[in-house]
Structure 1
Amino acid sequence: MGLLAAIVELIDDLIADVTRIGRHVWQSPVPYLGFGFSAVIVTWLLLGRVPDSENDFLSVAFWSENPEGMRNLLWSLATVAAGAAGLYGLSLAARRTKALDEQARIAEDNRRIAEQNRRLSEQAQITDRFTKAVEQLGSENDAVRYGAVYALERIAKDSERDFDTVVSTLAAFVRHQAPLSTQTEVGASPPIDVVATLAVLARILRKDHPLRKSGGIDLRATNLRGLDLPRADLSGFSLERSNLEDARLWYVDLSDARLSFAKLNSARLWRAKLNETWLFGTELRYVDLEDADMTGAACAGMKIDGADFRNVEGMSQHQFSTARYGSAAPPLNVPEGITLPEPTEDSD
């Protein structure tokens, strides 16, 4: 049994060696073909000729009588050798090119894997940052909440995938911190973290963002009385039923914002943009709208006791047709050509 096993192992090794040699010959056939051709020629020269004959081309006498034939033979052999060398060089170049292509492919695969790992690592870090910031929003410390708001702003800039989630989180924070049920005194302002959050929302949302177009920044029924946020871009924000009394919003952009049934009494809206703004049933008592632009604003049922419309642009008769005000405080500086409806005893 031992002898049989040894013979089987020897045969396996022989087959493996032959296979390996055959693979190498297949990959680089030129050297082996050249070697085989040379071996045939040499064998023929040594064994196929007739020694000591008159036509023995290996004899000096033969070539002495035929020098031109010798030169031709040598030239032919040199040409064959050069051709074989050229073919071998082409074979080496092809193998080298294939190896370089394989190395380039491997390098590209490694680069792609490294890039994927980098993105996964960054996303994991962003997830940790987001979780920590949300936890800090619930802190009782004002400074911690304030810092969390700006941490979320940074995340929104770093991760497009998490952008909408950050916006929704910040809007929910405003609704939680400043609900409409909050009681505020005249002259009071929203908490500093709420003001910071509104500023961040106005800053990070580009003008054409879908959330602005769809009214997806949900700040409805919030108490923002006394808000001081001039020049902010609040276009497209949803502020229905919110309290914005005494707000200082000069140069603010409220285009296409939803302000239906909101309270803007005594707010200062100098040069504000109210293009296409929803003002259904909005309270604008004693509001200062000097130089504002209300082109296309939907103003059905707005309450305008004592409102100042000095130099307001874009107002039409239709916008005033359902306006309400008391006889004791008619609106001021109504644009020329606008006829006010009759006052009511009670504009509420």
Structure 2
Amino acid sequence: MQLLALVPKSILLMRAALRRQPRTALAAAGLLLLVALVWVLGPGAAWVLESVDGVTGLVGKDRAEALDAIRGRALTVTTGLAALVAVYYTARNAETTRRTYEVGQRQLALSEQGHLTDRYTKAIEQLGSSELAVRLGGIYALERIARDSARDHPTVMEVLTAFIRDPPPLAAPTLAPDADGRTRVEQAAYLRGRPRLRADVQAALTVIGRRTVENDAQDRRIDLAEADLAGADLAGTRLHGADLAQANLTDADLKKADLSGANLWRADLTRANLTGANAATAIFEGAKVTGLTLAGANLRDARFDGVNLAGLELDHRDVQEAILDKRPRSLSPDMALNPNPDEPP
């Protein structure tokens, strides 16, 4: 270790320089060590032997062996320093790579969020367009955003439900009316004997009904209270826990829909079709059910207080038991029967 005495004091000051200009300082230190190594391997070995080790008077083979030993120590020290430098640079490069990756990921996330924001803003603008095709494009653009971003999924659902509850006014019809004053669209609806739901509202309902529930960790309730959904195609849709209080569901197709836990208080279900629907624990208090089809529906623990069931065909055993019992057999404590069906539960 006596070789360390060869290191000038200036090298010890490199530590401060490393903090200010690490690359320049390390390059200078490396060059200085290389010069020192060359010097020790050459004529400097004799100086080290006599001035540092204090050995004098050796001649011949003994002197040669002593000089070789000094050179060997110099190489060992240099090799160790080189290894330390290599380890330092490896660790530093790994840290730099990690930080670069993290910065890149943050920038990518910011870029993606900015892109989503732009897409969202454009889709919202499209919803207010007077052109049906543009509104439909906005609805399906929002669906894509809800699928791509779990964070934006609840917001998209709230926007779509608000659109359904209060859609923008339609442009005045340009088609010539018939002899009875009906437009072509109204004529088609009249001939079918059922109302026609607006295409944009139907599209929004379809998007909500097939939404990715996994993207909504809090399972927020879909708010469609008082919405005009007459003639809506809701077959097979996911409306678990939806708020459909006082909604107009006249002639709505709800075959095999998931209405479990839904609130249908005072909803108009005239001629609606709930064949095979799952409406377990749903609330039907005060609802209009004239012509309602319930074949094969699951209505276990559903509530029908204040509902006129006259004229309904109740041919399914589970439906009969659920409707005819005054109080459902397995009613949960937090769903006590509403004593006044005229007030929302």
Tell whether the structures are fold-level matches, with TM greater than 0.5.
yes
The residue type paired with residue 80 of structure 2 is: L
1:142 to 132, 140, 161: 132
Which deviates further from its counterpart, 79-88 or 142-151? 79-88
Given the alignment, which residue of 204, 209, 219 partners 2:211?
204
Greater RCO between the two (CA within 8 Å, min separation 6)?
A: 2
The reply to whether residue 278 of structure 1 matches residue 297 of structure 2 is: no
Counterpart in the other structure of 1:253:
258
TM norm structure 1:
0.71
Query: Residues 219-247 of structure 1: CA distance to partner in whole angstroms, max 9, x if unpaired?
Result: 10011111122111111111100011111
Asked whether the equivalents of residues 30 and 91 of structure 1 are also in contact (C-alpha less than 8 Å), the reply is no
Please name the residue that 1:326 is paired with.
none
Alpha-carbon separation, structure 1, partners of 2:256 and 2:317: 13
* SS class of match (1:99): helix
Deviation at 1:321, TM superposition (A): 2.8
Q: 2:81 matched to 1:91?
A: yes
Paired residues, what number? Answer: 284
For residues 91-130 of structure 1, what are the alpha-carbon distances to aligned partners after superposition, in whole Å with 9 as ceiling and x for unaligned? 1011111012112212221221122112111111111111
For 2:214 and 2:48, locate their aligned partners in 1 and report how far apart those are by CA, in whole Å: 84
User: Paired residue for 2:49?
Assistant: 41
In structure 2, relative to structure 1, the CA distance for the partners of 1:267 and 1:38 (3 Å cut) is farther
CA contact (8 A) 1:230 1:252 kept: yes
Give 1:144 shift.
Answer: 0.8
What amino acid does structure 2 have at the position aligned with 1:206?
A: V
Q: Is the 8 A contact 1:300 1:319 kept in 2?
A: no
Distance in structure 2 (CA, Å) of the matches to 1:316 and 1:298: 12
2-structure distance, mates of 1:165, 1:44: 79
Cα contact 2:206–2:234 (8 A) shared by 1: yes
Q: Which residue of 2 aligns with 1:229?
A: 234
Between structure 1 and structure 2, the one with the greater Rg is: 1
Q: Is the 8 A contact 1:178 1:224 kept in 2?
A: no
Residues 270 and 288 in structure 1, CA contact (< 8 A), matched pair in contact too: yes
1:300 maps to 305
Paired residue for 2:166, among 176, 194, 197? Answer: 176
Pair 1:191 & 2:198 matched:
yes
Does 1:119 pair with 2:109?
Answer: yes
Change (3 A) 1:289 1:168: same
Hey, what's the Cα distance between the residues in 1 that align with 2:243 and 2:251?
A: 19
Give the secondary structure class of the aligned counterpart of 1:140: coil
Is the 8 Å Cα contact of residues 277 and 296 (structure 1) preserved in structure 2?
yes
Q: 1:219 aligned to 221, 224, 235, which one?
A: 224
SS of equivalent to 1:204: coil
Listed as ranges, the gaps of 5+ residues in structure 2 are 1-7, 15-24, 170-185, 328-345
Deviates more, 1:253-262 or 1:32-41: 32-41
Q: Cα deviations across residues 149-175 of structure 1 (Å, max 9, x unaligned)?
A: 000011111222222111110110000
Q: Is the 8 A contact 1:289 1:312 kept in 2?
A: no
Q: How far apart are the structure 1 equivalents of 2:154 and 2:209? A: 14
**Greater CA drift, 84-93 or 238-247:** 84-93
Structure 1 residue runs of 5 or longer lacking an equivalent are 1-16, 50-55, 64-69, 323-348
2:97 aligned residue? 107
C-alpha contact (below 8 Å) 1:199/1:229 kept by paired residues: yes
What letter matches 1:166 in structure 2? V
Counterpart residue type for residue 171 of structure 1: T
Runs of 4+ in 1 over 6 A off after TM superposition: 24-31
Identity value in percent: 29
Aligned to 1:344: none
1:240–1:261 contact (8 Å) kept in structure 2: yes
Distance 1:20 1:78 in 2: 26
Paired residues of 1:251 and 1:272 also in contact (CA < 8 A): yes
